[in-house]
Each structure stands twice: as structure tokens, then as C-alpha cells.
Structure 1
């Protein structure tokens, strides 16, 4: 089972404008799409809602609101996305009507969703994807914001404050899914923006989840990729956005991860993000990504090797 892991996939605001103007097949280069769509399974963090309805959530205190048009599902289908994580700080950006639209559009497009639902039980429920007889379970959660959290009577996200330990419902969910699936992928949306390394509480949580049965953890939220520890990619960064470039952390240079379930390694595709368009990185950009990823992984006990193939892949081993 080869799984493509896409970080923050933001299809709102400027990306949505390009989507409406130029169509769903213009946001990624054909070469990048070919590499991603060739995976057995594609998982992404959907960093927006999908709807034409709704009002902004708490606009006085929440500065950013991302909403994609219904045609965004065509982008996801073009990339062969099988499942998205909705446990993040943008799932309810335009309220409950847009949130329910998101779930409906994904369902109608045949795309699974984890990390959010009509109740806390639905939000916490994992999904089991079956490909070629292989059963991959996926669990999503977010450590922010708490006001998006689902309850017994309200829709929302699977919220887990991991600062003081990993909640029991999360370890139980991973443990139970590990008994019925061949592998368990946990996809958390955690931590602040524009950081370059995981916080200590995330390292503790990751160890707990691996001990509970998680095969791989693939996080996101920082908009900048972090290093990889054994079985844990702390942050995949962004895969598409319209954000300003921060020169110190180079959030315009990122990665897409490819996990070969059952093998002690990850492959990493270096990517370059321009305004509402993403392509495979090359030249000095690829070298910068390789150097930064190597240094970040070395701090976490893994090794990065550079392949000679035409696709420019890097390999992380533990």
C-alpha cells in the first residue's frame, strides 16, 4: 500500500478565484498530479469548507476564513483523493450550513472524511479505506480551536487538547482500529503557524499513539514542513495556498509524503508553491528543501537520502 500524504490543502480565497476562472485542473502541474494520483491511496487535510452558503465565523476575532466553491471536489477527484481530514481550524469558517454542505459534497463525490461530523461520536469515528484487499484506517483530530469542537448535540470537529496528555478516546480509537485494519494512519492538525519543529507535547502524544497501535502519524498546521521521527511526520506543511511568502521559513517550499505501509521509510516529493499553483521543485529550491529536511530529520533520529531518479524524490529512513 503506497499512500500519498498531502498537508494543508487550501482551496479557498485566491485559490477559489483561480478555480472559478480557470477550472479545477489548473491548480497543480500535470507532472505533480501524475505522481500523486499514481498512489494507491491519497489522504489530504482540507483547509477550507466547500459551499456557496454561510456567514463568517466570529469575524471580530477570527482573521482568516476559507471557503471553496462546490467545484473544489473536482480538484480532489483529479488528484485521486480518497479521504480528507476536516479536523482543523477552517472546517466551520462559514458556519454550520457550509459545514454540512462540505460533508454532502464530499459524500456525493465519493470522498471520505474524518475528524468532523454531526456529533462528537461521528467526528471521532475513523474511516477504513480498502484498496487491493488492504484495510487502512484513518483517524483525524485537531488541538484547536475549541469552539469548533463537536458535542453530543452539535456538529463540529474531533477536538483533542494534547497539552496535558493524550485523551483516552483517541488512544482507544487507535487501539480499536488497529484490531480490525492492516494499518492505522493518524492525521492531527496541531500547533501554531510558521514553526519549524514540533512542540514537546506533540512528541509525547505521537509516542502514545504509536504505542496504542498507530502505524503512521502525518500532521499539519504549521504551513511549514517539520522533520520525521520513526513512524511520525510531525508536519507536512502546505500543498497549495495563496499565502504571503515568509523568507525566513520559506513556506513557499514544501513536500508531499509517500508512505509505503509496512516499510521503515517515507518518500518525499519536494514541491514549490506559487500563488494558487503548485509544481514539483527543482534546482536550488529542491536542494534547499533537501538540506532543511535532512537537518530536521537528523534531530529526530531519521536519515534523508537523495535519490537519483527523474522525479526528484527524497527518502526518509529509520
Structure 2
């Protein structure tokens, strides 16, 4: 039988501010419900976007007009490892919130917890460098990139994130890196922080970038940034929404309802996609109750949003929305 890996893919994971206060008061054990931990344990590996730095040092970076700064305590790294997280992308608009010192601490704390990082580093080559995760007999290449903010971009000797101005197109360095990586691994995942907050569907530059990344050799493109989940296709998860946070809830967009996507991945790409509806309370995340109001809201929205992208055939099974893929998909 061909090698396969079952990955659990989660969106924006913010362990700072109010979540950090909860960790200080109660530890990390209350962040994720036991039922969610059990669901994630069925995967070979969990991957997510870590939308904060992990450090007890640093000071807020000065960028005019920036309203939010997120820093998690060092024990957050071990909490993620205990959840089954094997790799994270740091390519986002919060990795450098507390300056280079805190970003470098983040890399050290995650490495000590056995978690691979992509999308940020002590300089530009390191921030753009891929990582390789071996699970389920597959060698999976990982890349992280963000289209904002340009101020956080790593430089030749400056810590920061892997920045790509995707509104102007997919840069040559990114397609070249994907193509070169594809020759050395069984599959390539590109983790992209793209587009604006609180939009219900992929914006034009995101829709343009996705097929370019696939054409370059990506097996699966995993997006985040909007804080609300978007539709999916076989090879593009346009936005996974939020995974854990302390954010104010929009009563219409419902950024407190999201998905964890389980992808069964083979060398030929995704073989099966399962979307688990989740509900976000203040600093805690749990699976939505099957057939409950939250679950039905997520199911209806994901089905409609995916249909708008050409994906039909999502079926309900075991509290999830499931799609098995064929070579024609």
C-alpha cells in the first residue's frame, strides 16, 4: 500500500493576551477540550498557524496604527507539543510583535518542544527555508509565507518573516523554492497567511495566487488570516479561520465557529478531506456538538462556500463533513 499521512490542519492560534492570562491562572490544560484532544490524537501530526510569539522577553514593536500585540508564555510551546503539534508556521502579522528578541526566543522554545517551524527566522534565507516532516512514511516539505506586513519581512541580517507581496503576484523565489523542494520530498504543503481580516470568501489576489502555487509544485495550499473559514477544494484550503483566541465575536460572521481539517495525504495529493466543526469559547476550543446549532451553522456555510469554489459532494459522517477525492477531482 502506498504511504499516506493523516494531518490535522488548524488555523490562527493565538495564545497571548487573554489566553496568556488564562494560562497564568489555570495552566494550559483548559485551552482545548478533552474531546478535541481525542479528535486530534487520530492524526499523525497537527499543523497550525501560530499567531503570536512565545517569550517572556521583548517589547512591543513600533508600527504606526498597529492595534494588537500577542505574546504567549514559554509553557505554550509544550502545550502545543502535548496537543500533537509537529510543525507551525510563524509567517504572519504577529510573529514580530515583541521584537527580534522575542521572535528568536519563539524559535528556541518551539525547537526545544520538538516542533518544527517555517516562515520566520534570524534572517531572510532562514525565514524562507523549508522544513521536512516525516509522518506516515511520507516526507512532507513545508513552507510558510505571508503577504503582510512588509514591515515584518526578514532581511539579510534581520530577524523576521518570509514575506511575499502576493497582490503583485507570486514571486519567483517562492515558486523556485517550491519546485526545488518538490524534487526531494513526497509532498509539499505551502502554509500561507494571506488576505484581509473578516472577509467571507477569498479576495482576488488570493484566488490568483493559489493556482500559481499549485503549478509550482504544491500538493496542498493551506491558508489563514481572515479569522473566518472559507470554502475548500481538493488542493486548496483557502482559510481555516481561528483555532483558539480571546477575540470579540462578530454576531454575523461568527469568528467563534470554525473547522479543523483532517487531510489524508499521499504522494499524488489529498485523498480524503474531513472538516470537523469547532466552537471557540473565551480561551478554550471544543468540537461543536453534531447536529447542534453551531455544527449546523458551520456545515451549511462550509458546504455553500465550497460549492462556490466548485467543490460539491461534501457528506456528513461521524460528526464531520467528508469528501473522498478521485484522480479526476
Assess same fold via TM > 0.5.
Answer: yes
Structure 1: any 5+ residue segments left out of the alignment?
none
8 Å CA contact 1:114, 1:138 repeated in 2: yes
Matched, 1:43 2:50: no
SS in 1 for 2:213: helix
Q: CA deviation at 1:132?
A: 3.7
Q: CA deviation at 1:265?
A: 3.4
SS in 1 for 2:180: helix
8 Å CA contact 2:141, 2:187 repeated in 1: yes
SS in 2 for 1:291: helix
User: How much is the aligned-residue C-alpha RMSD, in angstroms?
Assistant: 1.2
- Report the TM-score when normalising by structure 2: 0.94
Matched, 1:278 2:285: yes
8 Å CA contact 2:125, 2:156 repeated in 1: yes
Determine the C-alpha separation between the residues in 2 that align with 1:280 and 1:298. Answer: 24
Structure 2: any 5+ residue segments left out of the alignment?
none
Q: Which runs of structure 2 are paired with 1:181-196 in the superposition (5 Å)? A: 181-196=185-200
SS in 2 for 1:38: coil
Matched, 1:176 2:183: no
Q: CA deviation at 1:301?
A: 0.8
8 Å CA contact 2:259, 2:275 repeated in 1: yes
Aligned twin of 1:79: 83
8 Å CA contact 1:297, 1:304 repeated in 2: no
Aligned twin of 1:305: 314
Deviations 1:112-132 (A, max 9, x none): 000001111100001001124
Aligned twin of 2:131: 127
Determine the C-alpha separation between the residues in 1 that align with 2:84 and 2:117. Answer: 14
Matched, 1:29 2:47: no
Deviations 1:283-307 (A, max 9, x none): 0110010000011000001125233
8 Å CA contact 1:9, 1:47 repeated in 2: yes
- Report the TM-score when normalising by structure 1: 0.97
Deviations 1:210-241 (A, max 9, x none): 11110001100000000012300100000000
Determine the C-alpha separation between the residues in 1 that align with 2:236 and 2:220. Answer: 6
| Corresponding residue pairs, total | 316
8 Å CA contact 1:87, 1:142 repeated in 2: yes
Determine the C-alpha separation between the residues in 1 that align with 2:24 and 2:312. Answer: 42
SS in 2 for 1:56: coil
SS in 2 for 1:303: coil
Aligned twin of 1:105: 109
Aligned twin of 1:253: 257
8 Å CA contact 1:302, 1:316 repeated in 2: no
8 Å CA contact 2:256, 2:280 repeated in 1: yes
Q: Which runs of structure 2 are paired with 1:48-59 in the superposition (5 Å)? A: 48-58=52-62
Aligned twin of 1:315: 322
